[in-house]
Chain A
């Protein structure tokens, strides 16, 4: 009997992960409702199902099978399921791996890439505070201090705005939060040499890259 229940749970966990991977918003919501109706509120089931679906979506994106519209649609399906799970997840959410503040720098209203990074990083188990686009250095540093962020991820898609990344790093120095928070920079015009030049800790070329960097940061600098 116990085996049968375990099998049923695994089957439905798989069904939800598949629905998320396949961008099926309605199926994801229906499956989530089946799970809550059955009273299966274990964190492991709720969270791993959504995480597995998003992780497969991220893999397909990294492999060039999915593109941004597909990845965003997977995230919609994951969000639908999470909305249904949320009341049951209270109090049993596991510790996040770390805390990341992310945003596009001042002068830059492009945020598609930044949003994708935020999505993938969140799916990988981090607390993500996305403070939007066209964000001033002051707002970035305020958020880093307020959230006691382990990392700050700065995005820029424009050569006209990329220099503002240096302003953020300098302000972090002046306000005394540079040592406690690693800075990752990325975006189309950004290169590893630019990252080095402005004093960032890491250059990230993709959403997957950002997760790998964060895992490394938490391993070497995490509490």
Chain B
């Protein structure tokens, strides 16, 4: 029998304290686990659940109940922040996640800065925080994770990403101004989540990868703004998970500079080796989402056991799940961890 509640287990893992077994989670946002199979069964469906708080919280509950992941994870996409800051959104379908229709601005120099309080006025932010409030009150033993899109990815969702990336070199001052502005709004959004019961904040920043930026810009932009955001959330008394996409060989030393309480990584990163190299790092990951979609429960079960053998601190999928992933595959994954 488990000695700790899922919330205690996750919080203790993030605080580097002893736990009875490894937690297995899926934080939402980019790592959304609202599978088509679950939605078809429960009738709480996307895209509607991106907007309506009662549906959002029901779907988050369905995901936790059906998959075996030991958390609620909301929202189910990466567009809440960019929408609040001006980009129009295509909300997708049951199986296809929302996306930015077109970025609001062509250049970092065109950005129209919205005032403080903008996040609080967004109806989708309201749906997220109301859902967090409800779930954290009703199920106090289960961690409610609020997912944020990171500073660079949100910036590249309001400014044309190709121009944005060039301007990181050519228009440094204006680029910093925009990313700082975005980060301040993200802090405001995180505060709304925390004030409404978020146990943990998880930040995914897929534009902020070593592969895209290289080590110098990764440090100058990604590490700097992720740390600014993380430090502000820490001041609110809540731990932070940071997910870094892509291959990390190029930016390994910079990863150690991140202030997050756990670092979540992609499938092709050798977490065991990373743990050995940086023994103070709390690691999270990293079961291949490709395996979860295309493999079978037996293989997935065995692969999950490998993560346990490697003593990865918090077990989770390696990146964004395909919504067509079979539920039985996810269940094989979570079962393997829970029977430890």
Q: Do A and B come from one complex?
A: yes
Residues from chain A with Cβ under 8 Å of B245 in the complex = 188
Bound CA span A36–B29, Å: 53
Query: With A23-B169, A73-B166 given, is the CB distance from A159 to B321 under 8 Å?
Result: yes
Residues from chain A with Cβ under 8 Å of B213 in the complex = 67-69
Query: With A67-B212, A160-B96 given, is the CB distance from A191 to B162 under 8 Å?
Result: no
Bound CA span A66–B217, Å: 11
The answer to the question of A107 belonging to the interface, with a C-beta cut-off of 8 Å to chain B, is yes
The answer to the question of A80 belonging to the interface, with a C-beta cut-off of 8 Å to chain B, is no
Can you list, as one digit per residue, whether each of A180-193 has a CB less than 8 Å from chain B (1) or not (0)? 00000000110100
Residues of chain B from 269 to 325 with CB closer than 8 A to chain A in the complex = 289-290, 293-294, 319-324
The answer to the question of B75 belonging to the interface, with a C-beta cut-off of 8 Å to chain A, is no
Main secondary structure of the interface of B (DSSP, over half): helix
Residues from chain B with Cβ under 8 Å of A162 in the complex = 322
- For the complex, count residues of B whose C-beta is within 8 A of A: 31
Can you list, as one digit per residue, whether each of A22-49 has a CB less than 8 Å from chain B (1) or not (0)? 0100000000000000000000000000
A160–B320 touching, CB < 8 Å: yes
A67–B97 touching, CB < 8 Å: no
B212–A189 touching, CB < 8 Å: no
Query: With A72-B166, A160-B95, A163-B324 given, is the CB distance from A67 to B290 under 8 Å?
Result: no
B166–A69 touching, CB < 8 Å: yes
Residues from chain B with Cβ under 8 Å of A72 in the complex = 162, 165-166
The answer to the question of A70 belonging to the interface, with a C-beta cut-off of 8 Å to chain B, is yes
The answer to the question of A161 belonging to the interface, with a C-beta cut-off of 8 Å to chain B, is yes
Residues of chain B from 235 to 260 with CB closer than 8 A to chain A in the complex = 245-246, 250
Residues from chain A with Cβ under 8 Å of B96 in the complex = 107, 160-161
B100–A109 touching, CB < 8 Å: yes
B320–A112 touching, CB < 8 Å: no
Query: With A67-B217, A159-B290, A189-B289 given, is the CB distance from A73 to B169 under 8 Å?
Result: yes
Residues from chain B with Cβ under 8 Å of A64 in the complex = 214, 250
A188–B246 touching, CB < 8 Å: yes
Pick the contact of A68: B97, B165, B321, B322 (CB < 8 A).
B165
B212–A112 touching, CB < 8 Å: yes
Residues of chain B from 197 to 238 with CB closer than 8 A to chain A in the complex = 211-214, 217
Pick the contact of A159: B170, B217, B322 (CB < 8 A).
B322
The answer to the question of B150 belonging to the interface, with a C-beta cut-off of 8 Å to chain A, is no
The answer to the question of A134 belonging to the interface, with a C-beta cut-off of 8 Å to chain B, is yes
The answer to the question of A158 belonging to the interface, with a C-beta cut-off of 8 Å to chain B, is yes
The answer to the question of A76 belonging to the interface, with a C-beta cut-off of 8 Å to chain B, is yes
Bound CA span A86–B212, Å: 31
Residues of chain A from 150 to 186 with CB closer than 8 A to chain B in the complex = 158-163
- For the complex, count residues of A whose C-beta is within 8 A of B: 26
Bound CA span A107–B97, Å: 8
A109–B323 touching, CB < 8 Å: no
The answer to the question of B99 belonging to the interface, with a C-beta cut-off of 8 Å to chain A, is yes
The answer to the question of A115 belonging to the interface, with a C-beta cut-off of 8 Å to chain B, is yes
A67–B214 touching, CB < 8 Å: yes
Query: With A67-B217, A112-B162, A188-B246 given, is the CB distance from A160 to B169 under 8 Å?
Result: no
Residues from chain B with Cβ under 8 Å of A134 in the complex = 99
Residues from chain B with Cβ under 8 Å of A76 in the complex = 166
Q: How far is the CB of B83 from chain A (nearest CB, A)?
A: 14
Query: With A64-B250, A68-B213 given, is the CB distance from A160 to B97 under 8 Å?
Result: yes
The answer to the question of B168 belonging to the interface, with a C-beta cut-off of 8 Å to chain A, is yes
Can you list, as one digit per residue, whether each of A56-72 has a CB less than 8 Å from chain B (1) or not (0)? 00000000101111101
Bound CA span A188–B97, Å: 17
Bound CA span A69–B161, Å: 10
Bound CA span A70–B96, Å: 32
Query: With A67-B213, A160-B323 given, is the CB distance from A109 to B99 under 8 Å?
Result: yes
Residues of chain A from 114 to 157 with CB closer than 8 A to chain B in the complex = 115, 134
Q: Which of A69, A161, A163, A191 has the most CB of B within 10 A?
A: A69
Residues from chain B with Cβ under 8 Å of A107 in the complex = 92, 96-97, 99
Give the residue name and chain of the A residue nearest to B321 (CB): A159
Residues from chain A with Cβ under 8 Å of B161 in the complex = 111-112
Closest 3 CB pairs of A and B: A67-B214, A159-B322, A109-B99
Pairs A–B under 8 Å by Cβ, sample size 29: A64-B250, A67-B213, A67-B214, A69-B165, A69-B169, A69-B213, A69-B214, A70-B169, A73-B166, A73-B169, A107-B97, A107-B99, A109-B99, A112-B162, A112-B212, A115-B162, A158-B320, A158-B322, A159-B290, A160-B95, A160-B97, A160-B322, A160-B324, A161-B96, A163-B322, A163-B324, A188-B245, A188-B246, A194-B294
Q: A73-B169, A158-B322, A160-B322 given. 6 additional CB < 8 A pairs? A: A66-B214, A67-B212, A107-B96, A159-B321, A160-B95, A194-B290
